[in-house]
Amino acid sequence: MKKILLILTVVFATAFTSKAQVIPSFAFGIKGGMNLTSISKTGIFDASNQAGYLGGIWARFGALGFNFQPEAYVTGKNVTVDGVKQKFTSVDVPLLFGGKIGALGFGARFYTGPLVSFAINKDQNYSSAAGNIAHLNYKDQNYAWNVGAGIDLRSLSVDLRYEAGLSKQDYGTGSTKINLFNLSLAYKLF
């Protein structure tokens, strides 16, 4: 009898854990963090890395152990080029595809996907950058590719990702590709 109860407990626990990864899910939350920006060194430019920030919202749609995670956040990217501090502020929209291992609110995620970055400068404010996204105005945008991993602990998530710049961003008298590492903390609201 004890063996049958033990076997039934294991079967139900396995079925519940498997079901948690298979059924469709939706999550929405906020996130914030920091980044370390790196620009490609070309020609005579001397560049150094500096920390920046990010903050915004995310959503996650998942089923069968895979998920799609669109995000939107404001990012400050700082770098010093030839002794002059440059600041790039943008509204970033990554579209991440990945998988999850784990259940019951605990697990590890891995993901990759494109990122579209809408530049905000002194001639543009946050609302006009959001308007560029809504109206698909491609004038001031940059492209990048994200690769990363994250850990979920119930409502909290920690993500580490690398963003490889695919297009050049103008600054002053030159242009360069911007690469960066992001470390962020996310909180699931629902």
The CA dihedral of 182, 81, 76, 174, to the nearest 10 degrees, is -110
Amino acid at 29: G
pLDDT, mean of residues 166-172 = 68
Q: Considering the chain, what percentage of its residues have pLDDT values greater than 90? A: 37
The tokens for 183 are 């470390």
**Residue showing tokens 């993901």:** 111
Write the pLDDT tens digit of every residue in 110-122. Answer: 999 999 988 775 4
CB 109 within 8 A of CB 98: yes
The tokens for 139 are 């004038």
Q: Where are the domains of the chain?
A: 24-188
pLDDT of residue 62: 87
CB 28 within 8 A of CB 188: yes
Q: Which CATH architecture group holds 24-188?
A: Beta Barrel (2.40)
